[in-house]
C-alpha cells in the first residue's frame, strides 16, 4: 500500500486509530446501462475495508476488498453470467482490491476526492472517488461511527471486461460505463 499524500486544505478530524467498515450499515452498489434505455442496478453483498487515521481525513489511508462472487442484481441468470469469464471471471479473480494513494478535502471540509489504485486480476487502474464526509455520531450502544458517501464511474474495458452484443438496429447490449455508489459506515476496529 502506498502512503497517502496530505493536502494543505482544511481537513475535518476523525479520531486517530484503525476504523473498519460495518457491513450491516454499508452498501457497495453499481449501475450499468442496458440497451441504452435503462439502468440495471446491482450490489456486492460481501466486502470489507479499513481506514487508518492519525486524526485527519486528508492524511488517512483507505483500503477495501470486494468479494466478486457476492454480486447480486436481483436476477440469478444475470448474476451467473457476471461471474463467468465474460465479466468477472471469478475462477481467476475472487476479489476487487482498492488502496488509496491520496485524499484531498475541499475547503468546506465536507467533500473531497479519494484517489487510489483499483485492481481486478492483473489489471490495476487509478480511480477517483468523489467523496462526502457525513459526520461522526455515537449510537445507542455507545459506539462511535463515521459515515461517508462516494461515487465513481469506471470503464469496464479499462479492466479487460469487453463482452458485449451488437444490436441489429445499432448500438450495443450493455454500456461500457459502470457507476459505483458507496454508502459506508465505519466503526473503531476491535483491539
The verdict on residue 125 lying in a domain is yes
Which residue shows C-alpha cell 453483498? Answer: 45
Confidence of residue 58 (pLDDT cuts 50, 70, 90): confident
The Cα–Cα gap between 175 and 77 comes to 19
3-state SS track over 119-157: EECCEEEEEEEEEEEEEEEECCCCCEEEEEEEEEEEEHH
The verdict on residue 182 lying in a domain is yes
| Residue spans of alpha helices (H) in 28-182 | 76-83
- Mean pLDDT calculated for residue range 114-143: 95
**Residue 178 confidence (pLDDT) above 60:** yes
The verdict on residue 9 lying in a domain is no
pLDDT of residue 172: 62
The verdict on residue 5 lying in a domain is no
The verdict on residue 2 lying in a domain is no
**126-141 burial, b if ≥16 CB within 10 A, otherwise e?**
ebebebebeeeeeeee
The verdict on residue 44 lying in a domain is yes
- Residue 113's domain spans which residues? 17-188
The Cα–Cα gap between 10 and 190 comes to 29
pLDDT tens digits, residue range 30-56? 999 887 778 899 999 999 999 999 888
Split into its structural domains, the chain has a count of 1
pLDDT tens digits, residue range 132-167? 999 999 999 999 999 999 999 999 899 988 777 776
CB 111 within 8 A of CB 131: yes
Q: What is the CATH number of the domain that holds 137?
A: 2.40.128.110
| Average confidence score pLDDT of the chain | 88
Amino acid at each position: 500500500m502506498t502512503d497517502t499524500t496530505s493536502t494543505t486544505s482544511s481537513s475535518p478530524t476523525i479520531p486517530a486509530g484503525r476504523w473498519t467498515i460495518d457491513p450491516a450499515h454499508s452498501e457497495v452498489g453499481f449501475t450499468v446501462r442496458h440497451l441504452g434505455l435503462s439502468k440495471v442496478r446491482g450490489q456486492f453483498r460481501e466486502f470489507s475495508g479499513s481506514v487508518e487515521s492519525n486524526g485527519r481525513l486528508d492524511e488517512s489511508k483507505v483500503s477495501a476488498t470486494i468479494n466478486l462472487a457476492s454480486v447480486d442484481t436481483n436476477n440469478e441468470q444475470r448474476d451467473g453470467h457476471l461471474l463467468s469469464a465474460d465479466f468477472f471471471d471469478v475462477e481467476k479473480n475472487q476479489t476487487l482490491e482498492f488502496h488509496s494513494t491520496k485524499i484531498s478535502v475541499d475547503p468546506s471540509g465536507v467533500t473531497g476526492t479519494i484517489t487510489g489504485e483499483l485492481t481486478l486480476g492483473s489489471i490495476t487502474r487509478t480511480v477517483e472517488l468523489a467523496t462526502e464526509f457525513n459526520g461522526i455520531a455515537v449510537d445507542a450502544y455507545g459506539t462511535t461511527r463515521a459515515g461517508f458517501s462516494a461515487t465513481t464511474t469506471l470503464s469496464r474495458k479499462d479492466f479487460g471486461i469487453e463482452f458485449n452484443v451488437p444490436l441489429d438496429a445499432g448500438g450495443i447490449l450493455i454500456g461500457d460505463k459502470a457507476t459505483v455508489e458507496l454508502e459506508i459506515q465505519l466503526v473503531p476496529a476491535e483491539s
